[in-house]
Amino acid sequence: MFFSLQGEGLRAGLPTVFVRLTGCPLRCGYCDTTYAFQGGQWFEIGAILAAVAGHPTRHVCVTGGEPLAQKASLDLMAALCDAGYDVALETSGALAIDAVDLRVSRIVDVKTPGSGEVDRNRWTNLDLLAERDEVKFVLVDEADYRWAAAIVSRYRIAERCPVLFSAAHGQLQPRDLAGWILRDGLPVRLQIQLHKFLWGEERGR
């Protein structure tokens, strides 16, 4: 658990407590949190709530790894909502989101071919999205961009919730991605990882 500025999504720039859960069934080629695959410490939900309460913010992000790989994450998010926090879940999209408390903003990462995990997408998740949710695509090249644009159109995602396109760090230049979005007039937002501009790869930031 750590206190920082949210670096991604519609809450970018907001002071946020991050609760990072261990474990992930995916192995995306651009993953920047491989340290979360194992290790960590066990906490009771009450202890997590107490730790979160020690920071001056009402924003909490439950992330990973893949948080939904731990069943207790559902109870954790519900407890955080009950305590009055604005809760966001960052999930790979490979596991079902239907049991997540509807007060939680579900940020679903649709895996592109360039991620190496495109076959893990659970497409039925897209049918469950609502206005408070977000969909994120991390792109490694223009082929990924074209694939993502087709998915946004096919599933009419932008009519359900905000869509964010992000350039894979070190693999695609954000300026190139910005040009493609402008060229095609896509109904998506360009996302740049704010925390990497502020703190680089420093862990816990």
Q: Picking from 18-27, 76-85, 115-124, which range would have the lowest pLDDT averaged per residue?
A: 18-27
Domains and CATH numbers, the chain: 2-199 (3.20.20.70)
Cis ω on the peptide bond leading into residue 65 (within 30° of 0)? yes
Residue 14: CB atoms within 10 A of its CB come to 15
**3-state helix, strand and coil shares in percent for the chain, rounded to the nearest 5:** 35, 20, 45
pLDDT class of 196 with cuts at 50, 70, 90:
low
pLDDT at 100: 98
The CA distance from 57 to 52, in Å, is 9
- Specify the pTM: 0.92
